[in-house]
Amino acid sequence: MNYNIILAGVGGQGSLSVSVVIANAAMKAGLQVKQSEVHGMSQRGGEVLANLRLSDSQIQSPTVPRGMADLVLAFEPLEALRYIPWLNKERGVVVSASQPIRNIVDYPEIDSVLAEIRHLPRFRIIDADGIAKAAGNPRAANIVLVGAAADLLPIPISALESAIDEIFARKGEAVIQANRKAFNDGKTQFGK
Amino acid sequence: MQLVLSGDEAVARGALDAGISGAFAYPGTPSTEIMEYVQDNLAAYVAGLPEAERGKIVAQWCSNEKTAYESALGASFAGARAIVSMKHVGLNVAMDPFTNSALVRINGGLVIVVADDPSMHSSQDEQDSRVLADFARVPCFEPSDQQEAYTMIRQAFGYSEQNEVPVLMRLTTRLSHARAMVQTGSPRLPAPKPKSNDPKSWILMPAMARGRWKLLLEKNAAFRRDAEAENTLQLRSTKLGVIACGLGLAYYLENETDWVAANGGASAQHSSKGSQRDGATPGEAPSLLRITRYPIGHDKIRQLAAHVEKLLVIEEGYPFVEREIRGVFGAPVPVMGKLSGEIPLEGELTPESVRLALGLPAHEELPPAGIKVPGRPPQFCQGCPHADSISALQEALAGEADFYVASDIGCYTLSALPPYRAVESCVDMGASIGMARGASCVGQKKAVAVIGDSTFYHSGMTNLLDAVSHKTTLTLLILDNSTTGMTGAQPTISPTSQLPALLQGLGVERDHIHELISLRKYQDENAAVIRSELAYEGVSVIILKRECLEYLKKARKA
Ligand code: SF4
């Protein structure tokens, strides 16, 4: 079993911490992981890309080959489009937040961006920001997104839940609860 | 113990487990996390040492890579194991101690870890440190994954001590910044040797240096033999011989199963999962020479070439091994790689580029989006002090026809991009001041240098001294955000409060040193000060102060 994830977002959205959550959960489930990301210049409001590969055997390339991603988890819809060539034609799913981050002058019409996602064979678009706000923690939008993709991942829900609890453990019970709710609300969006 | 570590962290863990007494570095992507890991784990490390040793362990950020290197070299002289880490272009700064320390008689193990950045994710060039190790005639170790990074650095310290030579360990971005599981071994406690008692081997005056150089050249034969013994050869298919250097191995193994299937192998069962790393799969997979050590020996390459129809060299960076194999008279079989164009000459390796070079078809892809997907370049953090400093400079220059703004290396280089487009050059650490000065010397009006505090301490001070000594007309803006921002807010070597005294000490006149607070609400006032100094014929320095937001965030957490 090999499962390849591209996490795409904009600097400051917490895409790298989501990569850690999923990787930790995968390890709890006995899988091997390889995580790759580039730091430095790219953190300053620019596009941020993390690669996460899960497998039950040794993983080689640190990056996901084009055409081989099972999941593109996009924290922003334009960033989802950037990684379409990485999606696997037969299996690849895009799970994208709907809220754009318009920090560039040539950001396209949001409707045309979302329409492009809807043209894909398999996609989920979710109002991660709205759901996170409703859950009482606007900063948990990234965890809503994990919830929205949870049933696609080769990882038991319980492992994801405990990985989320652990990463927020230092921030106190209220933050843990808000993130649990964010995760669950994301999950139930797609009837799971 | 099983840990999940990035390549940088694996190196740092390995260095601690090898019993280092000193770690020295200057931050630089993708090498920064080596020192960060050592510092984060230092307290626990020191607590595990005998009482008497505890006061003798350090992990320090230094002014620049050269000073860091020289500290590590001194630690080696004194008998302790030391690591010095930097990014590839940092080795240029440390080149003087690096090449010359190859000649001395290394005492405590000395390992230089250099992280190259092919594809220039966060750098201004993609130079290959293997070439510089070769230039200095020192051994170079290049791990292929995180586990090897851990194991190899431990070996590197031993090798350095046995051979009395510095060892360079080369990483590349995707190894430095990828995490994988690493099995650690039992730590070796620091066991410093007595101080070197052999001045003849450490004083590189010509008569003594000649003898040391001769010895180093002789040792190179041994380095080559040892590398040959470590680089492993598996003779399998005769169709293709793959030479995989460092991380190149991972990209090869990623595609190995498909190559076997495409080349008539009935072998999916033995060669699946790419686990041939230990243990051969005879028969179908390409013959494979793994290179993790340099300078390379030649016997295994000859054996491989005699066995196969053609060779493919997979290496990050320059076609370093490929060029050595080709030589002047050509190889006995065709050699594919970066020089022949099967793998692009520029940029990092990718699983795709290696796949194509192996003669496999690209994986099928969905068509790209039907609308243009604009790039999203990095930007200043919202509220970054540099944005306000640059705006003040632009206001001061408004209406001027002839000026030159030289920038340096740091977050403020982002002011080269829209909407600012405020600077005209950015070349290397400290260059802003030297370039503005040189331009001014030959008649450029209103020469301005923009530099951050950390970069100023790194390589700006000597340029400023040149300007003061020669009374060059120059306006220097030091954007003092109290930190090295771009690499994630590491502390600078000297506090903000000391800067005016330092400038005065360098000979800048007190009346032409200004300390301003960089805030939007002071923009007009700040611009007025800059404007008046632009009219001054001499050296003026304007310090624009306000803390980096990342630095404040980190300080709040601590
Ligand atoms: S990291 Fe600091 S210096 Fe760099 S852009 Fe952000 S606030 Fe500015």
How confident is the model over A110-155, as pLDDT tens digits?
A: 999 999 999 999 999 999 999 999 988 899 999 999 999 999 999 9
Q: Is residue B380 part of a domain?
A: no
Give Cα separations from B484 to A142, B257, B493, B495 (angstroms). Answer: 28, 45, 10, 12
Judge residue B221's burial from the number of C-beta atoms within 10 Å of its C-beta, 0-12 exposed, 13-18 middle, 19 or more buried.
exposed
**Domains in chain B, number:** 3
Residues B36 and B95 in one domain: yes
- Examine the fold and report which residue of B357, B376, B410 is the final residue of a domain before the chain moves on: B357
How confident is the model over B57-96, as pLDDT tens digits?
A: 999 999 999 999 999 999 999 999 999 999 999 999 999 9
Residue in B519, B547, B549, B552 to alter for ligand 1 test, most ligand atoms within 8 A of Cβ: B549
Residue in B382, B519, B550 to alter for ligand 1 test, most ligand atoms within 8 A of Cβ: B550
Residues B224 and B237 in one domain: no
From chain B, the residues in CB contact with A103 under 8 A are 376, 379
Q: For chain A, state the CA radius of gyration.
A: 15
From chain A, the residues in CB contact with B412 under 8 A are none
Position B209 pLDDT exceeds 50: yes
Residues B350 and B493 in one domain: no
Nearest CA to ligand 1 atom 2: B548
From chain B, the residues in CB contact with A59 under 8 A are 180
Residues B208 and B246 in one domain: no
Position B267 pLDDT exceeds 60: no
From chain B, the residues in CB contact with A12 under 8 A are 381
Task: Tell me, in angstroms, the distance from the centre of ligand 1 to residue B489's CA.
Answer: 8
Structure tokens at B343: 């793998």
Q: Is residue B23 part of a domain?
A: yes
Calpha distance A94→A83 (Å, rounded) = 9
Residues B243 and B302 in one domain: yes
Sorted by sequence, the CB contacts under 8 Å of residue B302 that are 6+ apart come out as none
What pairs with residue B61 in β-bridges? B25
**A102 close to B (CB below 8 A):** no
Sorted by sequence, the CB contacts under 8 Å of residue B533 that are 6+ apart come out as B475, B512, B514, B540, B542
Residues B343 and B407 in one domain: no
Distance from CA of A183 to the nearest CA of B (A): 25
How confident is the model over B133-144, as pLDDT tens digits?
A: 999 999 999 999
Calpha distance B405→B133 (Å, rounded) = 36
Q: What is the pLDDT of residue B269?
A: 45
How confident is the model over B525-545, as pLDDT tens digits?
A: 999 999 999 999 999 999 999
Q: Can you give the residue range of the structural domain that contains B197?
A: 2-229
Position B452 pLDDT exceeds 50: yes
Q: Is residue B365 part of a domain?
A: no
Q: Is residue B142 part of a domain?
A: yes
Ordered by where they begin, the domains of chain A are 2-188 (3.40.920.10)
Pairwise pLDDT comparison (A41 vs B295), residue with the higher score: B295
Shortest-distance atom of ligand 1 to CA B548: 2
Task: Tell me, in angstroms, the distance from the centre of ligand 1 to residue B481's CA.
Answer: 8
| Partner residue opposite B253 with nearest CB, options A38, A60, A88 | A60
Q: Average the pLDDT over each of A130-144, B288-302, B441-455 and give the range with the smallest value.
A: A130-144
Q: Is residue B184 part of a domain?
A: yes
Q: What is the pLDDT of residue A192?
A: 60
Beta strand A123-126 with A93-97: parallel, antiparallel or unpaired? parallel
Mean pLDDT of chain B: 95
Residues B112 and B174 in one domain: yes
Residue in B122, B381, B552 to alter for ligand 1 test, most ligand atoms within 8 A of Cβ: B381
Q: Listing from the earlier edge strand, what are the strands of the sheet with B335-336?
A: B232-234, B286-291, B237-245, B311-314, B335-336
Task: Tell me, in angstroms, the distance from the centre of ligand 1 to residue B518's CA.
Answer: 13
Q: Is residue B370 part of a domain?
A: no
**Contact (CB, 8 A) for A110 and A147:** no
- Examine the fold and report which residue of B191, B214, B229 is the final residue of a domain before the chain moves on: B229
The confidence band for B552, taking pLDDT boundaries of 50, 70 and 90, is very high
What are the two backbone dihedrals, phi and then psi, of residue B298, each rounded to the nearest 5 degrees? -115, -15
Mean pLDDT of A177-191: 92
Shortest-distance atom of ligand 1 to CA B379: 5
Q: Is residue B225 part of a domain?
A: yes
- Examine the fold and report which residue of B229, B248, B279 is the final residue of a domain before the chain moves on: B229
DSSP A87: B
Mean pLDDT of B90-106: 98
Residues B251 and B324 in one domain: yes
Q: What is the pLDDT of residue B147?
A: 98
Q: Is residue B372 part of a domain?
A: no
Q: What is the pLDDT of residue A190?
A: 86
Q: What is the pLDDT of residue B279?
A: 39
Residues B120 and B262 in one domain: no
Calpha distance B138→B295 (Å, rounded) = 8
Calpha distance B304→B235 (Å, rounded) = 7
CATH of the domain at B239: 3.40.50
Q: What is the pLDDT of residue A39?
A: 64
Burial B140-165 (b: 16+ CB within 10 A, else e): bbbbbbbbbbbbbbbbbbebbbebbb
Residues B532 and B419 in one domain: yes
From chain B, the residues in CB contact with A104 under 8 A are 374-377
Calpha distance B123→B30 (Å, rounded) = 9
Residue whose C-alpha is closest to residue A107's, from A87, A79, A84? A79
Mean pLDDT of chain A: 93
Which residues 43-62 of chain A have a CB within 8 Å of chain B?
43-47, 51, 57-62
Mean pLDDT of B445-457: 97
Calpha distance B287→B297 (Å, rounded) = 17
CATH of the domain at B510: 3.40.50.970
Give yes or no for residue B380 CB within 6 A of ligand 1: yes
Residues B408 and B520 in one domain: yes
Q: What is the pLDDT of residue A136?
A: 86
Q: What is the pLDDT of residue B473?
A: 98
Position B444 pLDDT exceeds 80: yes
Sorted by sequence, the CB contacts under 8 Å of residue B462 that are 6+ apart come out as B430
| Bond prior to B30 in cis (omega within 30° of 0) | yes
Give yes or no for residue B485 CB within 6 A of ligand 1: yes
Position B282 pLDDT exceeds 70: no
ipTM over 0.90: yes
Residues B345 and B433 in one domain: no
Give yes or no for residue B386 CB within 6 A of ligand 1: yes
Position B266 pLDDT exceeds 80: no
Structure tokens at B233: 């050869």
